[in-house]
Amino acid sequence: MSVLHFAILLPLLAAPFIPFLFKGMKQIHTGWFVLVVPVVLVSYFAGFIPVTSAGDVVTETIAWMPSLGINFTAYVDGLSLLFALLITGIGALVVLYSIYYLDKDKESLGHFYVYLLMFMSAMLGVVLSDNMIVMYMFWELTSISSFLLIGYWYEKERSRYGAQKSMLLTVFGGLSMLGGIVLLESMVGSYSIRDMVANSGVIAESPFFLVAMILILLGAFTKSAQFPFHIWLPDAMEAPTPVSAYLHSATMVKAGLYLVARMSPVFQESPVWLWTIAAVGMFTMFWGSFNAVKQTDLKGILAFSTVSQLGLIMSLLGLGAAALHYDGIDDNIFIVATIAAIFHLINHATFKGSLFMMAGIVDHETGTRDIRKLGGLMTVMPITFTIAVIGSLSMAGLPPFNGFLSKEMFLKATTKVFSADFFALETIGILLPVVAFLGSVFTFIYSIMLFTRTFMGEAKFDQLPKKPHEAPIGMLISPVILALLVVGLGFFPNVLSNTLIKPAVESIYPTLVAQGQNVKVDIYFWHGLTPELYMTIGVILLGSLLFWQMNKWMGIYNRIPHRLTLNGVYDGTLVWSNKAAYRFKDNYMTGFIRSYLIYIFVFLSGMMLFSIWWFDMYQFSFENMAEIAPYEYVLGAVVILAALAILFMKSRLPSIILLGVVGYGVALFFVFFGAPDLALTQLVIETVSVALFLLVFYHMPDISKKETRMRFKVGNAIVAVLVGVTVTLLSFMALTHKSLSSISEYHIENVYDLAAGKNMVNVILVDFRGFDTLFEIVVLGIAALGIYTMIKFRTTRRTKGDGANEAKQQTRQ
């Protein structure tokens, strides 16, 4: 248990104390105690920056299940560290924000912080685990804690719906990912990610390469809300705003991006990897931004915006894979894509976190998040307005903020694809910059919309639930810090270049680094008159035009009927599968014992007959069979006739008598077969049985009045004949295939010498195989006790006949 492991598990270890602090220290907001954890962690992880900048890694291992190759290996390199700092840094700010956002008297803070700490540990575990099974465990823990946090206000129906939706989709992806992990392990023989990277050649040649890749990507796409799995994210906005800021903008939704970046060295040789990720990411970017424009809820806009930005980063990670197909790293244009991805990932966490907190403040101070009701808050909430402007403009990719830098690099990466001459990049690649341009236009529109609709325009304060005023200073600390980061990184991006971005990018290209090449990260504003600069100008012009004429084209959003939207498909699938399952169940679970017996009999006979036919077992040979005496024919005829006659009896009494006839006939057969003990037992038992039958029959007097002959049912008859034939064939086969001699020779020889008895059957029953007899006695005892209990033990005294009604009356009273 190293310090690193302790750091990963620290939030989890702290979680059990939270409810006690919440209950015991009522006067202090629980968040203050919680705040210690991320602050300690962020300072601890900051200590690793010099290590990773130097290109070193830190590895610590705890043996967990060594026999299965599952050990808790914590592995810190540039990529992990970047994420760990994001998680703990943003975590600290979000906890600080939540202290002012959540009321300590109205909310159950104990729950909230326990879930949040659980999530923090899980997320740290995901990014710092080298072992994929351990990573998967933490991955699912993030799903669970996210589910709990989204459903935090569980009395709201929409919260429960959103929580369920996110759970279903992310767990579906998580399970797919587990399948991919298992496949990869079967190729490499180890769950360690570093071993997989080292053996990426083996993986590339495996026939399951594609399947494993798709499964892993399903996990990443569902978690990172890529098209078409993005639908859970807008519904997850029912969570408290700190949760949306933390989970659904900065950390959890980036787990998928982390996975893609982490698995890049394993898969990136394949063109399918590049195209899948780039295409899905690019389309997600466009679709998210396109849909963000029609939202009327602040958090709804931000949710779709998050989807769009995640798609952007995803597509950059995909394009970065092309870098491997160049020898040199110096003039390698695709490295830019990966650098842009990492840089934008950091930027997105800063501006999106601040925007979510801004939305939370607006909601908190006005009582609504609906942009149709909001407006003119600029004068009342100047600080919040400033935060909103900085965040929005950075999101739109305008100078001088950090979003501009990463957006420029993004456009650069997309326009550079034509210089490649592989993977059909030079032909189909034309779509990439076009889609990127369109997505950027819509991004521009909703970013402008975000702060103009909320803070500018006419004030409608009288329609708001609360009288708006500036937020308390504590609530503003976190968004202000984030906004300062946005501006600061805009002006001094190279602070991060060598400390965080470079090591992170190098962990994505281990093969290039192994050749002794270094990634050069240099981010600056002015590149000269490049295509991406013209594209940015185009985005601004076209975006402004569309924003100005917004009312004229908003109609296109209503073209698609609800049933065909992705949400409609999701809801329809749930409803339909539920209905289908019910229909299926109602079709075969009829509640009649007859149906179930028919299934069993038909299946049994079908299996038997099929096996007989399949294995050619219908060649019977009847040699050395016993002779049949004439009286045995007669007896056999009597048994057969008696059995058949039961079927045609109208009354049950003759049926019982005929059953007795069959039993006695069987006893006589036992006599002919030389089994005196059996015959004796059979006679006695049959007599007692018939007596019992008669007793029961006697106690059902009303039955005899209603008695009818059994109605002939063709279905039953067919099943009966089928089973009869099967059993007969089975008996024939058992006669034919005599392979081994009986062990009874032993019993016959030793019955007197070993067991001092002459009656072999009895000696077998009590000596050679005494255990059978013991438990047969137990069975009889249990049956006797059961019968006694059934007759004596009655919870409800009832008169005969109207028991059900009386029971109902008793429950009513």
Partner 1 sequence: MEIFVSIIIGVLTMCAVYLVLSRSLLRIIIGTALFSHAAHLLVLTTAGLKTGAAPVLVDGVTEYTDPLPQALVLTAIVISFGVTAFFLVLAYRTYQELSTDNMEEMKGTESYD
Q: And the tokens for 213?
A: 């890749």
CA distances from 256 to 141, 248, 281, 283, 341 (A): 14, 12, 12, 16, 13
Identify the H or E element spanning 61.
strand 58-65
CA distances from 704 to 129, 548, 650, 697 (A): 75, 89, 10, 9
CA 13 from chain centre, in angstroms, equals 25
Nearest CA to 356 among 297, 291, 397?
297
Binding of partner 1 at residue 617 (CB under 8 A)?
no
Which residues in 696-755 contact partner 1 (CB under 8 A)?
696-697, 699-700, 702-703, 710, 713, 716-717, 719-721, 723-725, 727-728, 730-732, 734-735, 738, 742-744, 747-748, 751-752
Nearer residue to partner 1 within complex by CB, 269 or 632? 632
- In angstroms and rounded to an integer, the radius of gyration of the C-alpha atoms of the chain is 38
Question: Out of 59, 522, 782, 810, which residue is the one contacting partner 1 (CB under 8 A)?
Answer: 782
For partner 1, the binding residues in 527-556 under the rule CB under 8 A are none
Q: Which is nearer to partner 1, 427 or 621 (CB)?
A: 621
CB-nearer residue toward partner 1: 545 or 774: 774
Q: What angle do CA 325, 504, 76 make, to 5 degrees?
A: 125
Report in angstroms how near the CB of residue 160 gets to partner 1 at its nearest: 23
Answer for which of 597, 607, 634, 754 binds partner 1 (CB under 8 A) is 597
Q: Rounded to the nearest 5°, which phi and psi values hold at 617?
A: -105, 15
The interface region with partner 1, picked from 34-42, 116-124, 609-617, 623-631 by CB under 8 A, is 623-631
Q: Tell me how far, at minimum, the Cβ of 244 lies from partner 1, in Å.
A: 39
Contact pick of 598, 609, 612, 617 for partner 1 (by CB under 8 A): 598
CA distance linking residue 84 with residue 138, whole number of Å: 14
Nearer to partner 1, 330 or 776 (CB): 776
Round to whole Å and give the CA distance between 338 and 321.
8
- Rounded Cα distance between 334 and 320, Å, is 5
Nearer to partner 1, 446 or 670 (CB): 670
> Is residue 614 a contact point for partner 1 (CB under 8 A)?
no
Least Cβ distance, residue 720 to partner 1 (angstroms): 4
**Smallest gap from residue 790 Cβ to partner 1 (A):** 5
Contact positions with partner 1 (CB under 8 A) in 626-665: 626-628, 632-633, 636, 639-640, 643-644, 646-647, 652, 655-656, 659, 662-663
Q: Contacting partner 1 (CB under 8 A), which of 798, 809, 812, 813?
A: 798
The least distance separating partner 1 from the CB of residue 785, rounded to whole angstroms, comes to 10
Residue 297 found at the interface with partner 1 (CB under 8 A): no
Structure tokens at 561: 């009927």
- Looking at beta carbons only, is 25 or 644 nearer to partner 1? 644
Question: Would you count residue 756 as binding partner 1 (CB under 8 A)?
Answer: no
SS3 736: helix
From 436, 500, 508, 45, select the one nearest 257 (Cα to Cα): 508
Judged by CB under 8 A, the chain residues 352 through 381 that form the site for partner 1 are none
**750: CB partners within 8 A, 6+ apart:** none
Nearest to 556 by CA among 300, 371, 303, 291: 291
Contact between 674 and partner 1 by CB under 8 A: the answer reads yes
1 vs 790, which CB is nearer to partner 1?
790
**Least distance (Å) from partner 1 to the CB of residue 583?**
18
User: Coil, strand, or helix at residue 74?
Assistant: strand
Burial-class residue 801 by CB neighbours within 10 Å (0-12, 13-18, 19+): exposed
Distance CA 176, CA 221 (A): 11
Q: By CB under 8 A, is residue 327 in contact with partner 1?
A: no
Give dist(CA 252, CA 138) in Å, integer.
Answer: 11
Nearest approach, Cβ of 741 to partner 1 (angstroms)? Answer: 11
- Residue 148 or 751 with smaller CB distance to partner 1: 751
The reply to whether 591 sits near partner 1 by the rule CB under 8 A is yes
Residues 6+ apart with CB under 8 A from 495: 488, 489
Q: Please pick, from the candidates 625, 739, 812, 813, the single residue that binds partner 1 as defined by CB under 8 A.
A: 625
Size of the site for partner 1 (CB under 8 A): 100
531: cis peptide before it, omega within 30°? no
Stretch that binds partner 1, among 153-161, 261-269, 563-571, 763-771 (CB under 8 A): 763-771
Which residues, numbered 28-87, are part of the site for partner 1 (CB under 8 A)?
Answer: none
190, 199, 544, 773: which one contacts partner 1 (CB under 8 A)? Answer: 773
Find the largest Cα–Cα distance for the chain: 115
Instruction: Give which of 284, 264, 288, 285 is closest to 274, Cα–Cα.
Output: 264
* Closer of 522 and 677 to partner 1 (Cβ): 677
Closest approach of partner 1 to the CB of residue 676, in Å: 5
Rounded distance, CA 248 to CA 166, Å? 11
Whole-angstrom distance, CA of residue 275 vs CA of residue 282: 10
Query: Closest distance between partner 1 and the C-beta of residue 771, in Å?
Result: 10
466/738 with CB nearer partner 1:
738
**Does 606 participate in binding partner 1 (rule CB under 8 A)?**
no
